[in-house]
């Protein structure tokens, strides 16, 4: 099975049924009708051994590739439309491809996102997905936070970091372990939530590198400081089961890989934002506030600064 047959068999079926795809997989490029005047472009790469463990379950991996990229579009308040896949893999393993493409297709289809093109090459396993989304109203940027804003976060934090313990230990035996692994492999891109609050929130980012690191991007882009109250962080029952509270909090603060949405919202809009989240079925928790200054700090229950071992998040090449 060469690359052309492989694409035809495993990836062409992920083209979906969008009417705005004029030419999908199979020419030098794809042709689509522009879904809006303003477009959002995002790309994320996952490298084996760096972003996910070697011999990862391919269906889960495919879903995760879609989800982490969709999360970037969500953080801009864009509606996902089209995807292209740059897939480099060491061999054309049919079972692997069946599972991977199935997971990828499931992740994309949940948001009506059509795979319209790509490039399949041979080499060390590296998966890069490019997404194009439509922007209907104003975008959510990192740069709009104002002193006085509340800081909110969707879902729960730290689960994906805890899952890494399980992945390296090689096991899942209890319900809470199954839950944590699902949080790692199948993060929930908060696309609807972002859309619902896009006219209400000042700034947004998705939490991929760790809460403090990603809030640091908002603080830097907005020229403000952010204070987090550690005791307010939403922690799942599964994470409580998994480890002592101090570790759970550390995971929540610096863990990354959660792909939850962090929002900065003016006090006057807080109730509207919380209402919108409830309508979407998403939990949204106030965890801190935006103040003057720069940087991100985290306070404990007594209001004292928490010393975190590493607030800068994951960085390649550090």
Map the footprint of a second copy across residues 58-77, applying CB under 8 A. Answer: 72-73, 75-76
Comparison of 23 and 271: residue with beta carbon closer to a second copy: 23
90 CB neighbour count, 10 Å cutoff: 11
Burial class (CB in 10 A: 0-12, 13-18, 19+), 33: exposed
Q: With contacts defined by CB under 8 A, name the span among 41-49, 149-157, 225-233, 241-249 that binds a second copy.
A: 41-49
d(CA 225, CA 246): 24
The DSSP string of 206-243 is E-SS-HHHHHHHHHHHHT-EEEEEGGGS---HHHHHHS
The residues in 231-290 that bind a second copy, with binding defined as CB under 8 A, are none
The nearer residue to a second copy, 123 or 244, going by C-beta atoms, is: 123
Task: Rule CB under 8 A: choose which of 10, 11, 82, 100 binds a second copy.
Answer: 82
Q: Does 53 bind a second copy (CB under 8 A)?
A: no
Work out the number of other CB atoms within 10 angstroms of the CB of residue 132. Answer: 22
Q: Rule CB under 8 A: choose which of 79, 128, 188, 230 binds a second copy.
A: 128
How far apart are alpha carbons 158 and 243 in whole angstroms?
A: 11
The phi and psi torsions of 31 (rounded to 5 degrees) equal -120, 125
Q: Does 29 bind a second copy (CB under 8 A)?
A: yes
Closest to a second copy by CB, 66 vs 162, is: 66
- Minimum distance of a second copy from residue 221's CB (angstroms): 7
Q: Which residues contact 149 (CB under 8 A, 6 or more apart)?
A: 202, 203, 264, 265, 266, 267, 289, 290
Query: Under DSSP, is residue 285 helix (H, G, I), strand (E, B) or coil?
Result: strand
* Residue (166 or 196) nearer to a second copy, CB: 196
Number of chain residues interacting with a second copy (CB under 8 A): 72
In angstroms, give the least distance from the CB of 6 to a second copy.
Answer: 6
- Give the C-alpha separation, 81 to 108, whole Å: 9
Q: Which residues contact 150 (CB under 8 A, 6 or more apart)?
A: 264, 265, 266, 267, 270, 286, 288, 289, 290
Of 142-161, binders to a second copy (CB under 8 A) are: 142-143
- Interacting span for a second copy (CB under 8 A) from 84-92, 248-256, 267-275, 303-311: 84-92
Nearest C-alpha neighbor of 83 from the set 26, 2, 24: 24
Under rule CB under 8 A, residue 192 binds a second copy: no
Residue 12 found at the interface with a second copy (CB under 8 A): no
Among 16, 103, 118, 256, the residue binding a second copy under the rule CB under 8 A is 118
3-state secondary structure of 166: helix
Contact between 33 and a second copy by CB under 8 A: the answer reads: yes
Residue among 19, 27, 168, 244 that touches a second copy (CB under 8 A): 27
For a second copy, which stretch binds (CB under 8 A), given 122-130, 152-160, 170-178, 222-230? 122-130
Question: Least Å distance between CB 29 and a second copy?
Answer: 4
Q: Of 43-51, 177-185, 282-290, 296-304, which part binds a second copy (CB under 8 A)?
A: 43-51
Of residues 69 and 269, the one with the C-beta less far from a second copy = 69
């Amino acid at each position: 099975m060469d690359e052309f047959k492989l694409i035809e068999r495993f990836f062409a079926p992920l083209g979906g049924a969008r009417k705005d795809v004029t030419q999908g997989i199979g020419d030098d490029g794809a042709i689509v009708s522009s879904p809006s005047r303003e477009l959002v472009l995002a790309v994320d790469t996952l490298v084996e051994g760096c972003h996910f463990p070697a011999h990862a379950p391919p269906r889960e991996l495919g879903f995760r590739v879609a989800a982490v990229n969709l999360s970037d579009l969500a953080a801009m308040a864009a509606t996902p439309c089209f995807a292209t896949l740059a897939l480099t893999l060491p061999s054309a393993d049919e079972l692997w491809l069946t599972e991977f493409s199935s997971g990828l297709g499931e992740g994309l289809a949940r948001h009506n996102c059509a795979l319209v093109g790509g490039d399949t090459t041979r080499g060390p396993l590296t998966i890069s997905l490019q997404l194009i989304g439509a922007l209907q109203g104003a975008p959510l940027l990192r740069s709009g936070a104002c002193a006085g804003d509340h800081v909110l976060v969707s879902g729960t934090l730290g689960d994906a970091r805890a899952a890494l313990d399980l992945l390296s230990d090689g096991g899942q035996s209890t319900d809470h372990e199954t839950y944590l692994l699902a949080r790692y492999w199948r993060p929930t891109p908060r696309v609807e939530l972002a859309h619902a609050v896009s006219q209400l929130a000042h700034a947004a980012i998705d939490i991929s590198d760790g809460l403090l690191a990603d809030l640091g991007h908002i603080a830097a882009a907005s020229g403000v400081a952010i204070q987090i109250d550690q005791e307010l962080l939403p922690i799942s029952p599964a994470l409580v089961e998994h480890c002592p509270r101090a570790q759970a909090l550390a995971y929540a603060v610096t863990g990354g890989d959660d792909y939850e949405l962090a929002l900065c919202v003016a006090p006057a809009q807080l109730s509207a934002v919380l209402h919108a989240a409830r309508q979407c079925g998403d939990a949204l928790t106030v965890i801190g506030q935006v103040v003057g200054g720069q940087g991100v700090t985290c306070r404990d229950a007594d209001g004292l600064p928490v010393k975190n071992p590493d607030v800068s998040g994951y960085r390649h090449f550090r």
